[in-house]
Amino acid sequence: MPGLIYLYGMDRAALVKNIFAKRSVLCVGLDTDLAKIPRHLLQEEDPAFAFNKGIIDATKEFAVAYKINTAFYEAQGVKGWQSMERTLNYIPKDIFTIADAKRGDIGNTSEQYARTFFHTYPYDSVTVAPYMGSDSVKPFLQFDGKWAIVLGLTSNAGSADFQLQQCGNELLYERVLTTVASWGTPGNIMFVIGATRKEQLQEVRALLPDHFFLVPGVGAQGGDVDTVCRNAFNKDAGVLINVSRGVIYAGSGEGFAAQVHEAARKYQQEMAVYF
Amino acid sequence: MPGLIYLYGMDRAALVKNIFAKRSVLCVGLDTDLAKIPRHLLQEEDPAFAFNKGIIDATKEFAVAYKINTAFYEAQGVKGWQSMERTLNYIPKDIFTIADAKRGDIGNTSEQYARTFFHTYPYDSVTVAPYMGSDSVKPFLQFDGKWAIVLGLTSNAGSADFQLQQCGNELLYERVLTTVASWGTPGNIMFVIGATRKEQLQEVRALLPDHFFLVPGVGAQGGDVDTVCRNAFNKDAGVLINVSRGVIYAGSGEGFAAQVHEAARKYQQEMAVYF
């Protein structure tokens, strides 16, 4: 498995090119919840895919990445995995794809997860939890054009429980960032940085000048685009700002796609001024 | 969702009763890899399930739990989830089931994972990664007779990278154990304790006298049953010792089940002396 190139892997140069062409760092999060999608779609054979198709069509002009939150699909069992696969196949091949799956286990098991999200389902990247250390992360770094996006600082209240605890001279998440960064390169590792405060973003960027950060927490969770762009951009942009609920549930009823298109456009316009 | 009782949830009293009846704390890990199962099974319509069925039949006399390592099933896509579901349904209802899935995310996403492994697939428990803190773990604690088994100290080399780092007056995994324990009870939280050394087991047991520990690392990973039983048992036994490769790949060829039965029996006999 290691060393092979699977379909659709996207290297850094291609990602950066797309970001600059679109003047956007918008990642649209497909956290598709059947209880929240427009009701007319529930008559479709695959309602989750029908919704995602509408969202992708409405946002692909502005999005440089799509993030599929696997939990929402897994909860539907086999049907959900089929919706996920249809969605992944429908995403234009020049847009970066993220399996937001938060996986990580001992080496032989992480290898199976890498197979799942790089081969069985040919994503460009998968989110990875760092708690189990090097041998849990390294199996995700063996694929050309594929990325591990490792949890650094998350955007939820629980991040204070462990990530923000003092460990020696630094906070735990700072140790995670610098340690994990040493296992790969800015070409195969990104980090989840759910920072919404200026100082935190500046500090993390100073710690890791070259890496891409996947930044959740904008929109429903309270973060804002300007603060992230102003404080975390590097020469390659270096961030992907994820918005889930703020885009995908921006519309309602049969005309939901027009409002979703408008929401994505607004986010892209906020981002464009930083290029 | 919270508060409902789903099929097959197993509370602590029922688990302990089963352990004492069998004089066993053996958990058999179904890390089923199609590349390693007896070749004649590859002709079956569902080779992974055919293998698991053989393993369950051969070990159910001695096992008090089965742990399904979801990665090995996810890697096969929809077919794998179908094998997993058939396997889960085949496990006798009086034996505790563990989805070894290492999930954990922000609250609304952990809720979806809890739905996946407690409802869509009615496991008794799921393994959970603690890095994202309280709101990532608590959604798993809202179900009667269902358990979160949270990573404390894992058995792999990478556990040294973060878990064994000094955080204030304690090591990170010690902080994780005591903090996570405060979010629930010894009736809905267990911990993964991959300790193979006497001192570590004694120290963890002193820290958490009442909780159950799921102990991996015995067999292929080098740990031994006696050290675990001698140093980590409490009045309810309080441990589930997982063996994966050491049991399920103990046999080969068409008669594999007899050797697997014998391997499980040997483990049970080692455990029986501690009752």
Query: Is residue B200 within 8 Å of residue B208, measured between CB atoms?
Result: no
- In order of A51, A165, B14, B18, the CA distances from A40 in angstroms are 10, 47, 46, 49
Q: Report phi then psi at B239, rounded to 5.
A: -135, 150
Burial (Cβ within 10 Å: 0-12, 13-18, ≥19) of residue B73: buried
- In chain B, DSSP assigns E strands to 26-30, 63-69, 96-103, 125-128, 147-153, 166-167, 170-171, 189-193, 213-215, 239-243
Radius of gyration of chain B (CA): 18
Catalytic member of A17, A53, A102, A266: A102
Residue B62 has pLDDT above 90, yes or no: yes
What pLDDT score was predicted for residue B3?
A: 42
Of B120, B130, B168, the CB nearest to A75: B120
Give the integer Cα–Cα distance in Å for B193 and B272.
Answer: 21
Question: 10 Å Cβ neighbour count for A205?
Answer: 20
What pLDDT score was predicted for residue A8?
A: 61
- DSSP 3-state of B149: strand
Per-residue model confidence as pLDDT tens digits over B129-185: 999 999 999 999 999 899 999 999 998 999 999 999 999 899 999 999 999 999 999
The answer to whether the Cβ–Cβ distance between B134 and A31 falls below 8 Å is no
Per-residue model confidence as pLDDT tens digits over B227-258: 999 999 999 999 999 999 999 999 999 999 99
Per-residue model confidence as pLDDT tens digits over B195-232: 778 899 999 999 999 999 999 988 766 679 999 999 99
Catalytic member of B22, B79, B93, B102: B102
What pLDDT score was predicted for residue A7?
A: 57
Whether residue A235 lies in the annotated active site: no
10-residue stretch averages of pLDDT, chain A, 275 residues long = 57 97 98 96 98 98 98 97 98 97 97 97 97 98 95 95 94 97 98 90 97 89 88 98 96 96 97 96
Of A69, A75, A103, the CB nearest to B102: A103
Nearest to B137 by CA among B177, B174, B166: B177
Rounded to two decimals, the ipTM of the complex is 0.95
User: Tokens 């949270």 belong to which residue?
Assistant: B150
Would you give the distance in Å from CA B171 to the centre of its chain?
Answer: 24
Nearest to B9 by CA among B96, B134, B101: B96
Domains, chain B, with CATH or none: 12-272 (3.20.20.70)
Give the integer Cα–Cα distance in Å for B95 and A247.
Answer: 45
C-alpha atoms less than 13 angstroms from C-alpha of B222 in its C-beta half-sphere: 7
Residue B4 has pLDDT above 50, yes or no: no
The answer to whether the Cβ–Cβ distance between A163 and B103 falls below 8 Å is no
